[in-house]
Amino acid sequence: MTRRQHYVDFYDGPARDGRPLGLVHGNCQAEALRVVLAGSPGMPWQLVRLPPVHELTVEDLPALSSLLARSTLLVAQPVRDGYRGLPLGTGELAARLTPGAGVVRVPIVRDMAVHPWQVIVRVPDGAEPPVVPYHDLRTLTGRSPVDADLPAAAAASRAELARREARDCDVAVSDLLPSFGVDAVHVLNHPGNGVLVALARRVQAALGVPVDAADPGRALLGGIRAPLERIVLEALGLDVAQTRAHWLVGGEPLAASTVVAAQRAWCAIRPDVVEEGLRRYADRLPLLGLARR
């Protein structure tokens, strides 16, 4: 299937079903949230599938503008104005909606509680580590944790999400994450279905529509699942029977040692990535037992 076929409703306009149009804007989480909202029986808007914001190009702007001019709802993650040199910011899109349209800003869920050493490192050339697109601070530092305070690290991660929600969003979900245990996220930026449904219900409540979002019956963001380490589960008071030593990628097991070896070799030839990772997450290293000794 071509990209145009995948996003045919975006490019050609959806087959109308009598409801007003609505859009959900952001990264892969936004599309997962759209799926949950669109599957709700009481949803008053016809929600159109959009490409994720990081894939939108200047050639896509006419199609996006056409949809915005016909839409009466925007559910959006916080996206800065002028994102990647294009008018794709949440405020920029909201200003081009039908007059009187509703806007609900939702968080970008990042939760390092059950994967405390897992991080994403952005560098100018967009390079990602081999095997899986996530770094491990133990690999980046070349150190083994000593006296890590994992409960404090989990609290700090969720407090940062709560801070961003208070600053940028109309609804929040950080307060619910502890209740989902190991199912809160599959990797730090891919929440489980339960979190997505909870967020969808809060969006519905904010809109004043029936709060009836439900699990779609398939994992929406479960293509990559990180190991669940016993030391972390014990520290957080979670069920150690859910420990898993390997990754799952596309449903297939992948040894953690394979990931570590490949990424250690890659980091040796990408010192710029290591430097940026250590700079970006310097404040987390002491909590994770990785401060220089």
Q: How far apart are CA 229 and CA 42, in angstroms?
A: 40
- Of the pLDDT bands very low, low, confident and very high (cuts 50, 70, 90), residue 199 is very high
Q: How far apart are CA 88 and CA 86, in angstroms?
A: 6
Residue 6 has pLDDT above 90, yes or no: no
Give SS3 for 224.
strand
- Of the pLDDT bands very low, low, confident and very high (cuts 50, 70, 90), residue 293 is low
Q: How far apart are CA 64 and CA 86, in angstroms?
A: 12
**pLDDT at res. 3:** 82
Compute the half-sphere exposure of residue 146: CA atoms within 13 Å on the CB side of its CA.
8
Burial class (CB in 10 A: 0-12, 13-18, 19+), 282: exposed
What's the whole-model pTM score? 0.95
Q: Tens digit of pLDDT for each residue in 102-139? A: 999 999 999 999 999 999 999 999 999 999 999 999 99
**pLDDT at res. 15:** 86
Residue 210 has pLDDT above 70, yes or no: yes
Q: Where are the alpha helices (DSSP H) in 15-124?
A: 28-38, 61-70, 90-94
Mean pLDDT, residues 6-25 taken together:
92
Contacts of 175 (CB under 8 A, 6+ apart): 162
Q: Are 60 and 110 in contact (CB under 8 A)?
A: no
Name the residue among 220, 237, 24, 195 with its Cα closest to residue 111: 195
Q: Where are the alpha helices (DSSP H) in the chain?
A: 3-6, 8-12, 28-38, 61-70, 90-94, 137-141, 150-168, 193-207, 230-235, 256-269, 271-280
Residue 1 has pLDDT above 90, yes or no: no
Q: Are 77 and 106 in contact (CB under 8 A)?
A: yes
Q: Tens digit of pLDDT for each residue in 138-195? A: 999 999 999 999 999 999 999 999 999 999 999 999 999 999 999 999 999 999 999 9
**pLDDT at res. 123:** 93
Average pLDDT over the chain, rounded to whole?
Answer: 96
Domains present along the chain, CATH in parentheses: 3-105 (3.40.50.12080)
Which residue reads 């997505």 in tokens? 196
